[in-house]
């Protein structure tokens, strides 16, 4: 089997299994229907308990800010496939998943207890384990931008000479590097306006250059 077979078979998520999140801090992200993961695992490996299985969940409650409580869940996914003779292979090594959900959260009307928090945390942990196989990868790829693929901010524009309209350039004076902004600040302080080096040289010393160039 090719190394990418499972990943490529599981990466795409149909539209009917996607749901856009419209509120909270996750607004704009995409939720994947958990039953689609079950279907995909079954397609790839067979029925639950035969071709794939999860360890019983381990839950842990932890206090958050302002009296909030979060539930963390840990589990492991195991898979096995048919060998060339059609027999089941041994179970794979454990594929860990850690998830979480808010048990007690703060809302506009006060504190709220979610009686489905444990289920949500377990489902979240399962999704994380499945992610390692590439299940739903296309959705996660779009959602999980990194510092490497975020658009970088454009560099600040160079200050412009008030006389000739050209950008003010930096320079080196007596071994000291002067940036374009520093050069602009110096000319503004000396002449009352931002000037490039060439235009600054044309300014008569007696009146500070406010009416010349």
| Residue range of the domain that includes 134 | 5-143
95 and 190 within one domain:
no
187 and 133 within one domain:
no
Tell me phi and psi for residue 129, to 5 degrees.
-65, -45
14 and 109 within one domain:
yes
Residue 31's nearest CA partner among 17, 11, 41, 42 is 17
Q: How far apart are CA 159 and CA 166, in angstroms?
A: 9
Q: Specify the CATH number for the domain of residue 26.
A: 3.30.390
pLDDT of the residue at 26: 55
Quick check: 161 and 167 in contact, CB under 8 A? yes
Domain count, the chain: 2
pLDDT of the residue at 2: 79
Question: CB pairs under 8 A, 24+ apart, for 24-30?
Answer: 29/143, 30/139, 30/142, 30/143
pLDDT of the residue at 29: 65
Phi-psi region of 18 (alpha: psi -120 to 50; beta: other; left: phi over 0): beta
- pTM, whole model, 2 decimals? 0.62
Beta-strand relationship, 95-107 and 69-79:
antiparallel
208 and 122 within one domain:
no
Phi-psi region of 81 (alpha: psi -120 to 50; beta: other; left: phi over 0): beta
pLDDT of the residue at 109: 85
108 and 69 within one domain:
yes
pLDDT of the residue at 97: 97
96 and 27 within one domain:
yes
77 and 29 within one domain:
yes
Q: Which residue has the tokens 């607004």?
A: 27
Q: Which residue has the tokens 């490529």?
A: 8
Structure tokens at 77: 């996914």
161 and 210 within one domain:
yes
Residue 92 CA from chain centroid, whole number = 30
Structure tokens at 27: 């607004």
164 and 133 within one domain:
no
- Give domain status of residue 151, yes or no: no
Residue 79 CA from chain centroid, whole number = 28
102 and 17 within one domain:
yes
- Give domain status of residue 33, yes or no: yes
pLDDT of the residue at 24: 57
Beta-strand relationship, 18-20 and 30-32:
antiparallel
Per-residue confidence of the chain (213 residues) as pLDDT tens digits?
A: 678 999 999 999 999 998 876 555 555 567 899 999 999 999 999 999 999 999 999 999 999 998 999 999 999 999 998 777 767 789 999 999 999 999 999 988 889 999 999 999 999 999 999 999 999 999 888 755 444 455 555 667 779 999 898 999 988 888 888 888 999 998 888 888 999 988 988 887 644 544 444
- Give domain status of residue 38, yes or no: yes
- Give domain status of residue 148, yes or no: no
Q: How far apart are CA 133 and CA 95, in angstroms?
A: 9
pLDDT of the residue at 213: 43
Q: How far apart are CA 67 and CA 125, in angstroms?
A: 24
- Give domain status of residue 150, yes or no: no
């Amino acid at each position: 089997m090719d190394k990418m077979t499972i990943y490529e078979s599981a990466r795409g998520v149909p539209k009917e299994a996607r749901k856009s999140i419209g509120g909270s801090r996750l607004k704009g992200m995409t939720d994947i229907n958990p039953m689609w993961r079950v279907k995909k695992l079954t397609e790839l490996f067979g029925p639950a308990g035969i071709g794939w299985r999860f360890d019983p969940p381990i839950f842990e409650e932890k206090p958050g800010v302002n009296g909030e409580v979060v539930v963390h869940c840990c589990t492991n996914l195991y898979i096995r496939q048919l060998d060339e003779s059609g027999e089941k292979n041994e179970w794979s090594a454990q594929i860990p998943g850690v998830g979480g959900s808010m048990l007690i959260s703060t809302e506009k009307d006060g504190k709220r207890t979610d009686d489905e928090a444990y289920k949500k945390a377990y489902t979240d942990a399962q999704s994380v384990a499945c992610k390692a196989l590439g299940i739903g990868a296309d959705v996660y790829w779009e959602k999980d931008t990194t510092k490497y693929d975020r658009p970088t901010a454009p560099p600040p524009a160079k200050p412009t000479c008030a006389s000739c309209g050209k950008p003010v350039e930096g320079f080196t004076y007596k071994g000291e590097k002067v940036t374009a902004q520093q050069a602009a600040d110096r000319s503004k302080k000396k002449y009352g306006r931002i000037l490039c080096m060439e235009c600054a040289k044309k300014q008569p010393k007696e009146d500070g250059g406010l009416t010349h160039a």
